[in-house]
A = this chain, B = another copy of it.
Amino acid sequence: MKRTFHSSKPESDALNAYIKLIRASENLSVATHRHLADHDLTSSQFAVLETLYHLGPLCQIEIGKKIQKSRGNVTTVVNNLARRKLIERQKDCRDKRFSQVALTDLGEKMVYEVFPHHIAGIVRIFSCLTPAEQHELARLCRKLGLSQQAKTY
C-alpha cells in the first residue's frame, strides 16, 4: 500500500518539524502524567493547584485563562479537586457571580509534595540537550507560538 500525497520540499520540511514537535510534546505529557498519577492527579488538576499556589485565590475564569481551558472544563476540574478537599470555593460577597477558588492546607501540602519531583523530572528529560540547545528550542517554539496568534490556519 504505502500511498502518499505528493510533497514539495517546503511541505516535507514543515511536516517533519510538525510531527517531531507533536511527538516530543506527547512524550513529555506521558512522562509527566505518569508521575502525577502516582499522586492521583491529572495534568489539569496539577495545573490548577500550581496556578493557585503561585498566584493565590482566583476566580474560575482567571484559572481558565491561566491553564488555557474552557469555562465548562474548569468547572469539572475544580469540582474534582474540591471533592478531595484540595481546594475550596468561596462566593464573592460583592459580586455573587464569582467564586474565589483557593488552595486548602491539604492542597498546599500536595503542591509541596509533588512540585519538586515534577521539576526534577523535566530537568532530567531536558538534560539531553545542552543549555544552548534548550535556549534555541525555546526560541523556536516561542516564534512558532507567536506566529499562530495572528493566523487562522
18 contacts between A and B (CB under 8 A): A2-B54, A2-B55, A5-B116, A10-B131, A16-B134, A17-B134, A17-B141, A22-B25, A22-B28, A22-B29, A26-B68, A27-B144, A31-B151, A125-B144, A129-B143, A133-B140, A136-B136, A137-B144
Please, which residues of chain B bring their CB within 8 A of the CB of A141? 17, 20-21, 23-24, 137
Tell me the complex Cα distance, A13–B5, Å.
Answer: 39
Closest 6 CB pairs of A and B: A1-B56, A128-B147, A25-B25, A14-B126, A20-B141, A24-B141
Which residue from B125, B128, B131, B143 sits with its C-beta under 8 Å from A128? B143
Please, which residues of chain B bring their CB within 8 A of the CB of A142? 20, 24
Report the copy number of this chain in the oligomer: 2
Residues of A within 8 A of B (CB-CB), count: 64
Tell me the complex Cα distance, A115–B7, Å.
Answer: 12
Please, which residues of chain B bring their CB within 8 A of the CB of A126? 13-14, 17-18, 144
